[in-house]
Amino acid sequence: MATAELVLGLLHNGPAHGYDVKRGHDAWFPDSRPLAFGQVYTTLSRLERDGLVEVVDRGSEGGPERTVYALTPQGREHLAHWLAEPIQPALGAVDEMVRKVVATIRTGEDASAFLARQRSSHLRRIRELKAVESDSDSSSWLVRDYMALHLDADLRWLDNALDRITEQKETSR
């Protein structure tokens, strides 16, 4: 995951401290795993080392120290480049599902029960995504749509697999 670039993106609208960055990330991606604090601070230090962000304030206002970071011109350029570049299409998080089916078949087991269970799990997830109220948030529907349509593509693969495995069973009978 491109955490570093996302952090740059979160600083795009102005300087912020680590907590704001984390909160911003979780608001952008409400259906994903929240960003861990540790990861935010490690990422900010690395970006500072590479000259992509700089510290603009170390105020504490009586509480714990709050380092405020801002994008440097190089950081802004890096972000613009990252946003413009298409990603390499590759197998994503679902490759475990494919591996499980291949392993089931290779070990001589019947994959159809697993495929049916996976199918219902995928459908349930789409149902959850659709149940989220559409609100004034300008981008979270984009992420939900992306996820639902990818789950749909997985489901088509699951259907094909289920049909072909059933056919194979029928012909070998």
Interacting residues toward other proteins by CB under 8 A: 116-117, 119-120, 122-124, 126-127, 130, 148-149, 151-152, 155-156, 159, 162-163, 166
- The nearer residue to other proteins, 31 or 163, going by C-beta atoms, is 163
Smallest gap from Cβ 135 to other proteins, in A, equals 16
d(CA 152, CA 122): 8
Smallest gap from Cβ 56 to other proteins, in A, equals 44
SS percent in the chain: helix, strand, coil, step 5: 65, 5, 30
Instruction: Say if CB 151 and CB 125 are below 8 A apart.
Output: yes
d(CA 115, CA 101): 8
- The nearer residue to other proteins, 70 or 165, going by C-beta atoms, is 165
Q: At what angle do helices 18-28 and 3-10 cross, to 10 degrees?
A: 100
- The nearer residue to other proteins, 99 or 124, going by C-beta atoms, is 124
Smallest gap from Cβ 130 to other proteins, in A, equals 7
Smallest gap from Cβ 144 to other proteins, in A, equals 12
- The nearer residue to other proteins, 6 or 115, going by C-beta atoms, is 115
d(CA 105, CA 154): 18
User: What is the separation, in whole angstroms, between the first and last Cα of the chain?
Assistant: 46
Smallest gap from Cβ 153 to other proteins, in A, equals 9
CA 152 to chain centre: 17
Q: What is the largest CA-CA distance in the chain?
A: 77
